[in-house]
């Protein structure tokens, strides 16, 4: 491993740089997923990362290593969405200019979010291109040379890969010993970093990558022993529409990854339905790759403990049913607070926040682990929230808690403490009691199970 682009010390150093900046995201599990696969399955939810994806880890780690001269000149990047937002946010935090090259057909929400992070800087912009007829890397290199900026690619960079690897580091620390790790694959930055971390912490773990069938360039590259370049794949997994693995990421994959699996678009849709119906999560197709391989039978891991890095969970929706507030439904004036206190309340009965790409008026994304801190606000004193130790079951009048202690408080200071490892009906709470679940105070190592 000495000749690989990254090693364990790079990931350990990245963890230090990200301390206090990146969020330690929760690990979820599902009884249904366990029953369907015959394995114990854990999901690392990077949707609760800053800007809504694991990409922030690598982007911030790379930019934090810039020299003063590089910071003055700024950064340039190319991306279909998540790396774009990550670079724009990291540049904002580090007070440097950013130029982002994005496909003209990028999701509008991601375009808006990226521009939102750049708001107020005349030296920052988004440059659009046609992903099917133009070369984004060539555009990025040309602009970097013309403007004297530093180019940070979305995956083929040592600092980016090292930053992404901290996701697996945290996941293994929280979930414990594992038999297998499944990782979504686009250009290979995430799986390269995760493989290095996993093999350091668990030498016997099997690391598997998962690509869309239409974009299996990494699988083909492993089969042929060299990087294979394909046409831009036609797949609903837009985050994995890469044409080839990276020059730096591929050798790491060759050395440390057991193999690369593929799943069809139809299987991705089925997995999206699973997350929505069973775990109450709306997950974009690319983020379903790893889970789809397991849930749809592309790999048999019965009897094993399995982790899946789930980087792109776009929407979390929680619904309070009958029994809340002594029998009524969630009222408009109620506040639903997520970790660090972001107000997520939108409508009676059903509330949610799109954490993958909706810009708020001040340019910040609606990410429950980010926006309140950026606005300089303290967590609200009342509301309902969730994190690792607490889960509200969609459409059911139950409060779920792992073996943790949760404080439920009303505005006037009256509080109730709940310690439980089972479901407890909300209707059992005192009538009229305002609800504040303090998710930021629960154990970082607890892993809630969802039905």
Q: Give the per-residue pLDDT at 157.
A: 97
Q: Give the per-residue pLDDT at 26.
A: 87
Q: What is the pTM of this model?
A: 0.69
Q: Give the per-residue pLDDT at 132.
A: 86
196 bridge partner residues: none
Between 182 and 347, the more confident residue is 182
Q: How many CB atoms lie within 10 A of CB 135?
A: 13
Q: What is the pLDDT of residues 59-80, one digit of tens each?
A: 999 999 999 999 999 999 998 7
Query: 148-157, 231-240, 241-250, 323-332: lowest mean pLDDT where?
Result: 323-332
Architecture of domain 8-55+158-312: 3-Layer(aba) Sandwich (3.40)
Q: What is the pLDDT of residues 322-353, one digit of tens each?
A: 223 232 222 222 222 222 322 222 222 222 22
Q: Give the per-residue pLDDT at 302.
A: 92
Looking up tokens 């297998």, which residue turns up?
180
Looking up tokens 């900026």, which residue turns up?
149
Confidence bin at 23 (pLDDT 50/70/90): very high
C-alpha closest to that of 439 among 386, 391, 403: 386
Q: What is the pLDDT of residues 78-88, one digit of tens each?
A: 987 899 999 99
Residue ranges, CATH 3.40.50.1100, the chain = 8-55+158-312, 56-151
Confidence bin at 266 (pLDDT 50/70/90): very high
Confidence bin at 280 (pLDDT 50/70/90): confident
Instruction: Give dist(CA 445, CA 306) in Å, integer.
Output: 16
CA distances from 77 to 57, 114, 421, 423 (A): 15, 12, 45, 46
Confidence bin at 1 (pLDDT 50/70/90): low
What letter does residue 401 receive in the DSSP assignment? E
Looking up tokens 């439980």, which residue turns up?
420
| Strand spans (E) along 27-137 | 27-30, 40-45, 75-78, 98-103, 125-129
Confidence bin at 387 (pLDDT 50/70/90): very low
Q: What is the pLDDT of residues 399-444, one digit of tens each?
A: 322 223 333 333 334 333 333 333 333 333 333 332 332 232 233 3
DSSP string across 161-207: HHHHHHHHHHHHHHH-S-SEEEEE-SSSHHHHHHHHHHHHH-TTPEE
Q: Rounded mean pLDDT of 180-205?
A: 96
Q: Give the per-residue pLDDT at 227.
A: 97
Q: Give the per-residue pLDDT at 409.
A: 35
Which pair of structure tokens corresponds to residue 291? 């889970």
Q: Give the per-residue pLDDT at 238.
A: 85
Query: 115-124, 247-256, 379-388: lowest mean pLDDT where?
Result: 379-388
Between 18 and 392, the more confident residue is 18
CA distances from 417 to 207, 400, 401, 404, 436 (A): 41, 14, 12, 10, 11
Cα(first)–Cα(last) distance of the chain, in Å?
A: 41
Instruction: Give dist(CA 8, CA 442) in Å, integer.
Output: 29
Q: Give the per-residue pLDDT at 309.
A: 59
Confidence bin at 308 (pLDDT 50/70/90): low
Residue 201 has pLDDT above 80, yes or no: yes
What letter does residue 71 receive in the DSSP assignment? H
DSSP helix/strand/coil, 318: strand
Instruction: Give dist(CA 90, CA 21) in Å, integer.
Output: 10
Average pLDDT along the chain: 74
Residue 295 has pLDDT above 60, yes or no: yes
DSSP helix/strand/coil, 317: strand
DSSP helix/strand/coil, 92: helix
DSSP helix/strand/coil, 282: strand
Instruction: Give dist(CA 1, CA 5) in Å, integer.
Output: 9
Which pair of structure tokens corresponds to residue 132? 């099917």
Instruction: Give dist(CA 136, CA 142) in Å, integer.
Output: 10
Cβ(195)–Cβ(253) below 8 Å: yes
Instruction: Give dist(CA 5, CA 208) in Å, integer.
Output: 19
Q: Give the per-residue pLDDT at 93.
A: 97
Query: 91-95, 126-130, 211-215, 325-329: lowest mean pLDDT where?
Result: 325-329
DSSP helix/strand/coil, 33: helix
Residue 12 has pLDDT above 70, yes or no: yes
Which pair of structure tokens corresponds to residue 447? 């892993």
Looking up tokens 């990146």, which residue turns up?
22
C-alpha closest to that of 112 among 394, 399, 363: 363
C-alpha closest to that of 164 among 199, 200, 195, 208: 195
* Fold adopted by 56-151: Rossmann fold (3.40.50)
């Amino acid at each position: 491993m000495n000749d690989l682009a990254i090693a364990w010390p790079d990931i350990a150093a990245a963890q230090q740089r990200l301390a206090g900046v990146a969020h330690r995201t929760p690990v979820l599990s599902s009884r249904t997923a366990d029953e369907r696969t015959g394995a114990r399955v854990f999901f690392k939810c990077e949707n609760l990362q800053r800007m809504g994806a694991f990409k922030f880890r690598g982007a911030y780690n790379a930019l934090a290593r810039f020299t003063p001269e590089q910071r003055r000149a700024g950064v340039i990047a190319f991306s279909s969405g998540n790396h774009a937002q990550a670079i724009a946010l990291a540049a904002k935090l580090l007070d440097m200019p950013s130029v982002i090259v994005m496909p003209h057909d990028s999701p509008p929400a991601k375009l808006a979010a990226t521009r939102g992070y750049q708001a107020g800087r005349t030296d920052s912009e988004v440059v659009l291109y046609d992903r099917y007829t133009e070369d984004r890397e060539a555009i990025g290199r040309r602009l970097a040379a013309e403007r004297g900026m530093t180019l940070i690619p979305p995956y083929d960079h040592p600092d980016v890969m090292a930053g992404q690897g901290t996701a697996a580091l945290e996941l293994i620390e929280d979930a414990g010993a594992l038999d297998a790790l499944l990782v979504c694959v686009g250009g290979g930055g995430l799986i390269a970093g995760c493989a290095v971390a996993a093999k350091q912490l668990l030498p016997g773990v099997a690391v598997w990558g998962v690509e869309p069938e239409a974009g299996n360039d990494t699988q083909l590259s492993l089969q042929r022993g060299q990087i294979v370049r394909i046409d831009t794949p036609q797949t609903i997994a837009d985050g994995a529409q890469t044409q080839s693995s990276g020059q730096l990421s591929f050798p790491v994959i060759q050395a440390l990854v057991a193999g690369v699996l593929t799943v069809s678009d139809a299987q991705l849709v089925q997995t999206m339905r699973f997350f929505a119906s069973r775990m109450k999560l709306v997950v974009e197709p690319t983020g379903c790759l790893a889970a789809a391989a397991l849930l749809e039978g592309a790999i048999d891991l019965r009897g094993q403990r399995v982790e899946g890095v789930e980087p792109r969970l776009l929407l979390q929706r929680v619904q309070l049913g009958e029994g809340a507030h002594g029998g009524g439904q969630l009222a408009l004036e109620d506040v639903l607070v997520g970790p660090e206190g972001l107000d997520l309340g939108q409508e009676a009965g059903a509330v949610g926040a799109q954490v993958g790409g909706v810009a708020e008026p001040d340019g910040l994304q609606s990410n429950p682990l980010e926006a309140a801190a950026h606005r300089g606000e303290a967590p609200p004193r009342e509301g309902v929230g969730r994190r690792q130790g607490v889960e509200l079951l969609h459409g059911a009048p139950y409060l779920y808690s792992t073996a943790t202690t949760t404080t439920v408080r009303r505005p006037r200071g009256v509080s109730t403490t709940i310690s439980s490892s089972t479901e407890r009906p909300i209707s059992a709470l005192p009538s009229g009691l305002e609800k504040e679940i303090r998710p930021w105070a629960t154990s970082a190592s607890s892993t809630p199970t969802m039905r």
